[in-house]
Amino acid sequence: MDRPFTFINSAMSADGKISTWQRKQVRISGAIDFDRVDQLRATSDAVMVGIGTVLADDPSLTVKSAQRKGERKAKGLDENPIRIVIDSQARTPLEADIFKKGEGQRIVVVSSSAHSNKVEALRKKAKVIISGDIRIDLPDAMQQLHRLGIRHLMVEGGATLNWAMLSSGLVDEIYTFVGNIIIGGQMAPTLVDGEGFTDTSTLPLELISAEKIEKGLFLKWKVLNFLK
Ligand code: NAP
């Protein structure tokens, strides 16, 4: 199956949480890690999030460094990578920062059961791709994104989308910054939520690198996909 090279990038606490139980963003990393994330965005064709992250954090997902934006422009690219939302029911708010901030293309992936009025409204803000009946058919969506020329895809969460992508065998690498805080909370999202694997079907990884950055640890993992 033709799909983009795909990596997940996330910041998590020492106990593996990516936000609080109230789904409020917490500052987990510092300036050096923010810059690392900016570099990854600037060198990706597209950056993707789930609708849960858009509703919780309202991220703009833009490249922040003027130099990197300039380098993209010099290559004939938009300042920002294509920003993609996985959103079965077309719930992305029309006033979301992802639409308001920064130049560049936006794609919202919706299912065929999304309300047509909402889909038409989104079409004024973004290219809309239809995939799946109730929820997004992620393998199909990845093929559609590949057909649009997306070869290098950065997934920026959240926990539910990370699970869906990993359990569908659609992720090549995982990059995590592990910060020096504990967030705790049974209901707080972790790096990967969803239904979870069983004791006989866990997903193996291979450590590519581990580097101390500021007061935390940056880990790069290769996913040894059993589904390929
Ligand atoms: P999410 O993973 O961003 O989005 C999940 C939603 O995607 C689902 O509820 C579903 O909503 C939609 N979806 C569509 N098709 C799907 C499919 N095939 N499989 C799974 N989901 C599909 O939301 P989340 O799990 O609530 O995570 C949000 C939390 O993560 C927030 O608290 C945010 O702060 C945190 N976060 C942290 C970081 C970090 O690096 N620390 C990064 C990002 C997010 P529909 O059914 O309505 O489509």
| 158-167 CB burial, b ≥16 within 10 A, e <16 | bbbbbbbbbb
What pLDDT is recorded for position 1? 83
Contact 211, 43 (CB under 8 A): no
18 lines ligand 1 (CB under 6 A): yes
What pLDDT is recorded for position 225? 77
What pLDDT is recorded for position 156? 98
What pLDDT is recorded for position 200? 86
What pLDDT is recorded for position 194? 97
Residue whose CA is closest, atom 46 of ligand 1? 88
Can you tell me the distance from the alpha carbon of 61 to that of 71, in angstroms, rounded to the nearest whole number?
17
157 lines ligand 1 (CB under 6 A): yes
Residue whose token pair is 């979301």: 96
Pocket test for ligand 1, best of 18, 98, 145, 195 (most atoms within 8 A of CB): 18
Architecture of the CATH domain 5-223: 3-Layer(aba) Sandwich (3.40)
Question: Which atom of ligand 1 has the smallest separation from the CA of 28?
Answer: 41
92 lines ligand 1 (CB under 6 A): no
Question: Which atom of ligand 1 has the smallest separation from the CA of 12?
Answer: 41
Structure tokens at 160: 């539910």
Question: Which atom of ligand 1 has the smallest separation from the CA of 53?
Answer: 3
What pLDDT is recorded for position 43? 98
Domain ranges within the chain, ordered by starting residue: 5-223
Q: Which ranges constitute the DSSP H helices of the chain?
A: 31-42, 51-57, 66-74, 97-100, 116-123, 138-147, 159-167
What pLDDT is recorded for position 227? 55
Task: Give the residues of the chain that fall short of pLDDT 70.
Answer: 226-228
Q: What separation in Å is there between the alpha carbon of 194 and the centre of ligand 1?
A: 10
